[in-house]
Amino acid sequence: MQRRAALRLSAASAAMALAAGVGVVLSMPEASAATGSATGYATQNGGTTGGAGGKTVRATTGTAIHAALCGRASSSTPIVIEVEGTINHANTAKVSGESCNTAAGVLELKQISNVTIVGVGSGAVFDQLGIHLREASNIIIQNVTVKNVKKSGSPTSNGGDAIGMERGVRNVWVDHTTLEASGGESEGYDGLFDMKDNTQYVTLSYSILRNSGRGGLVGSSESDLSNGYITYHHNLYQNIDSRAPLLRGGTAHIYNNHYVNLNESGINSRAGARAKVDNNYFEDSKDVLGTFYTDAAGYWQVSGNVFDNVTWSSPGTENHPAGPNPQSNTTVSIPYGYTLDPAACLPNVVSRTAGAGKGLQVSNGNCTV
126 vs 148: CA distance, rounded Å: 9
Q: Where are the beta strands (DSSP E) in 176-250?
A: 178-183, 193-196, 200-205, 208-214, 217-218, 228-233, 236-242, 246-248
Q: Residues 313, 319: contact at Cβ < 8 Å?
A: yes
* Amino acid in position 321: P
Q: Residues 75, 100: contact at Cβ < 8 Å?
A: yes
Query: 3-class DSSP state for residue 47?
Result: coil
83 vs 100: CA distance, rounded Å: 18
Is the previous residue joined to 347 through a cis bond, with omega within 30 degrees of 0? no
Residues contacting 197, CB < 8 A, separation 6+: 166, 167, 168, 220, 224, 226, 227
289 vs 312: CA distance, rounded Å: 9
Question: What is the DSSP code (8-state) at residue 341?
Answer: P
Q: Residues 188, 151: contact at Cβ < 8 Å?
A: yes
212 vs 178: CA distance, rounded Å: 12
Determine phi and psi for 261, rounding to 5 degrees. 60, 55
Cα 255 to the center of its chain, rounded Å: 16
Is the previous residue joined to 78 through a cis bond, with omega within 30 degrees of 0? no
Instruction: Report the run of H or E that residue 90 belongs to, with start and end.
Output: none
Q: Residues 152, 180: contact at Cβ < 8 Å?
A: no
Question: What is the DSSP code (8-state) at residue 179?
Answer: E
Query: 3-class DSSP state for residue 64?
Result: helix
Q: Is 248 a catalytic residue?
A: no
- Which is catalytic among the residues 243, 248, 270, 274? 243
Query: Catalytic amino acids?
Result: 243
